[in-house]
Copies of this chain bind each other. A is one copy, B any other.
């Protein structure tokens, strides 16, 4: 693993909401091509961890580096941290493709407009080029014919696939998925997992919070089990699912059928 470049490096990350410490010192490095699944019970801090990586939540302590470039932080005067360079954050964010649990497609734009929005208005790609690439991506997730539909007219599964295309459109260094299927009806889960599985096969760097154990096992090369704000256990899927060591992990795997 070590010969590959670092894609995301998180060191000693802490996050407090008021008195509640949600993350209690997490360090994790994702190398290029890694597919890391983050599992854990509800409230264990998985989403918070993912959101700290692109500064949607500002960490209380610790540091995050994207492709070797540490995000500059400063004290915010209230005993917490704050990014010191907003432009840097925006630049780094513009190459991290985030896919949300609830899709968060922009409802006032058609699917293709959603997909080209960030390339055109953030990265400055020409519109023609963005559309061409966007259409290719939509074709890839099987949504080409929905290109001019508005999100509200699509099923949940289609919306999530569109969201994935939107995230891919910025040619991201890494993709961040926060429970991409848990807002979907059971019948629609498959189509989205299929698309993500394909991405994994291409060796795209991905961090993936999920409740779908079977899927995590098949797709990830590294599993991180979060419990109460710390990494309780991590390792390759065979080890985590086949030979869990910690009691908590055993119980967790057992309970999630």
Task: List residues of A (195-239) whose CB comes within 8 Å of B's CBs.
Answer: 211, 214
- Is residue A187 within 8 Å, beta carbon to beta carbon, of the partner chain? yes
- Is residue A18 within 8 Å, beta carbon to beta carbon, of the partner chain? no
Instruction: Count this chain's copies in the assembly.
Output: 2
Cβ–Cβ < 8 Å partners of A42 in chain B: 185, 187
In whole angstroms, what is the CA distance A185 to B42 when docked?
10
In whole angstroms, what is the CA distance A256 to B211 when docked?
16
In whole angstroms, what is the CA distance A187 to B179 when docked?
14
Tell whether, in the assembled complex, residue A41 and residue B256 are in contact, meaning their CB atoms are under 8 Å apart: no
Cβ–Cβ < 8 Å partners of A77 in chain B: none
Q: Mark A35-48, 1 if CB is under 8 A from B, else 0.
A: 00000011000000
Cβ–Cβ < 8 Å partners of A256 in chain B: 186
- Is residue A12 within 8 Å, beta carbon to beta carbon, of the partner chain? no
9 shortest A-B CB distances, which residue pairs?
A42-B187, A186-B211, A186-B256, A42-B185, A182-B186, A41-B187, A214-B257, A187-B255, A182-B185
A residues lining the B interface (CB < 8 Å): 41-42, 182, 185-187, 211, 214, 255-257
9 contacting pairs across A/B (C-beta < 8 A): A41-B187, A42-B185, A42-B187, A182-B185, A182-B186, A186-B211, A186-B256, A187-B255, A214-B257
